[in-house]
């Protein structure tokens, strides 16, 4: 009985050991990851494994999973601008490990590729791009400089098996002296803009007043022109009316009308003299007196 019990215990131990070995012979590669087969700590060439359950020799081999999904890195770094201003920046880098190059990345850098590749490359890119802009331009052209950093960082990391999906400058900070200088410049620009606005307003007001004066002068000139034209028309109409009246009189004037008018206006007195210089002037009074004397003499006879 003791032998049977002992044999049964050994069998149980073997079964448990086999189950343990079997359990340690399979490793699951998570969704969105790739697996790297490692034998006695040495990476096997071409041993990249897709997501799912995979067999390996227990205690001899292991499967290391590398996440290929988008990961986010935030870091603080410093650089110098083109005008030698200290630039402190907080950056956010979104990246992912390319599945087809996971083996190469792990073989070269292990699981510390973020610390060994991405962070140093990000520091280098910030220094490179910041040196191309003044501190003020890094503020005013923040989006442009951010895009340039993203493109340079992606170009650096692509050949290493890492793709940059997004890049953001979360914060820029500068020395206190520079910040004070920027604030003073902004105040000066605001004062300048205010003065320019006031000047433009004054010019616009003067221009409006000028246009009003021009319109008034044009209206006055038009009024004078209209009045002069009206007066000229009145004179013309009066002249035309007078000419028409004289023409009417002339057309209706006949010898009978002339004699009748003379007769109506004669006061019964004859003119004292008649004739002209060529014919001589005769005094009608003397002639009448002479005729009267002759008549008197004939009566006496």
Residue carrying structure tokens 């605001």:
190
Comparing CA positions, the residue from 276, 272, 301 lying closest to residue 286 is: 272
Task: Read off the pLDDT of residues 22-35 as tens digits, 9 standing for 90 and up.
Answer: 556 788 889 989 99
Q: Which of 44-58, 85-99, 228-242, 246-260 has the highest mean pLDDT?
A: 85-99
Structure-model confidence comparison of residues 1 and 61, the more confident one: 61
Phi-psi category of residue 79: left, alpha or beta, with phi > 0 → left and psi -120 to 50 → alpha: beta
- Please tell me the predicted confidence (pLDDT) of residue 298: 47
CA distance 189 to 184: 9
The answer to which of 72-76, 255-259, 287-291 has the lowest mean pLDDT is 287-291
3 state SS of 253: coil
Please tell me the pTM assigned to this model: 0.55
Which whole number is the average pLDDT over 72-83?
Answer: 93
Q: How many helices (H) and strands (E) does the chain have?
A: 9, 10
């Amino acid at each position: 009985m003791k032998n049977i019990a002992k044999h049964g215990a050994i069998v149980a131990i073997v079964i448990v050991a086999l189950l343990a070995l079997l359990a340690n012979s399979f490793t699951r590669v998570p969704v969105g990851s790739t697996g790297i087969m490692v034998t006695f700590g040495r990476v096997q060439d071409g041993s990249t494994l897709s997501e799912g359950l995979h067999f390996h020799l227990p205690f001899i081999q292991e499967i290391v999973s590398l996440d290929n999904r988008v990961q986010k890195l935030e870091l603080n770094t410093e650089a110098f601008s083109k005008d030698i201003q200290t630039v402190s920046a907080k950056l956010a880098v979104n990246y992912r490990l390319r599945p087809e190059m996971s083996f190469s990345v792990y073989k070269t850098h292990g699981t510390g590729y973020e610390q060994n590749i991405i962070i140093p490359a990000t520091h280098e890119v910030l220094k490179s791009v910041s040196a191309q802009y003044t501190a003020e331009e890094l503020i005013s052209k923040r989006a442009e400089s951010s895009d340039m950093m993203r493109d340079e960082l992606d170009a650096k990391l692509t050949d290493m098996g890492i793709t940059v999906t997004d890049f953001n400058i979360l914060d820029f900070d500068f020395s206190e002296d520079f910040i004070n200088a920027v604030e003073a410049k902004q105040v000066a620009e605001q004062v300048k803009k205010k003065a320019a606005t006031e000047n433009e307003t004054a010019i616009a007001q003067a221009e409006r007043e000028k246009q009003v004066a021009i319109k008034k002068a044009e209206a006055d000139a038009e009024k004078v022109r209209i009045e002069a034209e009206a007066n000229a028309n009145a004179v013309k109409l009066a002249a035309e009316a007078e000419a028409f009246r004289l023409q009417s009189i002339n057309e209706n004037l006949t010898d009978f009308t002339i004699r009748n008018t003379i007769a109506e206006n004669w006061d019964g007195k004859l003119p004292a003299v008649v004739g002209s210089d060529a014919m001589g002037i005769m005094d009608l009074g003397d002639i009448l007196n002479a005729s009267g004397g002759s008549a008197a003499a004939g009566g006496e006879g």
